[in-house]
Structure 1
Amino acid sequence: MNQNEKFQLRTETQEGRCIVYLSGELDLDSASQLRAAMAPLMELTDRELILNLRDLKYIDSTGIGIFVSVLKARHAKNAPFEVEAIPPGIRKLFDMTGITSFLTKS
């Protein structure tokens, strides 16, 4: 795997929003990195939590499972959560698994 495909994340905090930008490949090897970064952010219930996938190249079932876990945790706390800028290939996967409507604003 070359450097461009490695998983990376960057967090940007704005007033009322926390945006996590994901890039590269989110798979079993990188899942722990995402889980560790998301744990404290899930507790910030006073602001919207947004995952931006614009630069995400690949996601496997482990990554999707993390998204669903975050969704459930945020829903239980009545805290907003959204996934935005979903690349077409990943959106197709979300559509096939039936989670698109839970992760995006319509």
Structure 2
Amino acid sequence: MKQTDKFQLRTETKEGRCIVYVSGEFDLEVAAQMRAAMAPLVELTDRELTLNLRDLKYIDSTGIGILVSVLKARNAKQASFTVEAIPPTIRKLFDMTGITPFLTRQNQES
């Protein structure tokens, strides 16, 4: 997978959980890369899918749209999808758009 200086993805699988670490800037320029990386992971319904955004610096509406599409696809498959370690500035944006409750573990059944 091609990585840029401004955006990186790293995937780790352990204990029935697939964690995707997203860092840098998640915007229109890297949308195709993110979609390509997430497509096969969305299909892995036998494990939890988690995005770790600890090192995410920026996300635009395209990035938010991709997160929502992954959420919808996972929900349709009755598979877990959560977002963790959301930086305060990103969480504020998620709160303003109303998607925080759908992405965070606190409101999902274990």
TM-score w.r.t. length of structure 2: 0.92
Once the two structures are TM-superposed, the CA of residue 23 in structure 1 deviates from its matched residue by: 0.2
Aligned-pair distance for 1:68? 0.1
Which 5+ residue runs of structure 2 have no aligned equivalent?
A: none
Q: Is 1:66 aligned to 2:63, yes or no?
A: no
> Within 2, Cα distance between the matches of 1:32 and 1:23?
16
* Matches of 1:17 and 1:34, distance apart in 2: 19
What amino acid sits opposite 1:98 in the alignment?
Answer: G
For each residue in 1:10-65, what CA deviation from the matched residue of structure 2 results, as whole angstroms up to 9, or x when unmatched? 00011210000000000000111110000000000000000000000000000000
Matched position secondary structure for 2:105: coil
Count of residues in Structure 1 that have an aligned counterpart in Structure 2: 103
Please give the secondary structure, in 2, of the residue aligned with 1:78: coil
**Partner Cα separation in structure 1 for residue 15 and residue 54 of structure 2:** 21
Query: What percentage of aligned pairs have identical amino acids?
Result: 81
Name the structure 1 match of 2:33. Answer: 33
- The 5 A counterparts of 1:16-31 are 16-31=16-31
Tell me the C-alpha RMSD between the 2 structures: 1.1
Q: Distance in 1 between matches of 2:85 and 2:15?
A: 20
Shift of 1:69: 0.1
- Runs of 4+ displaced beyond 3 Å: none
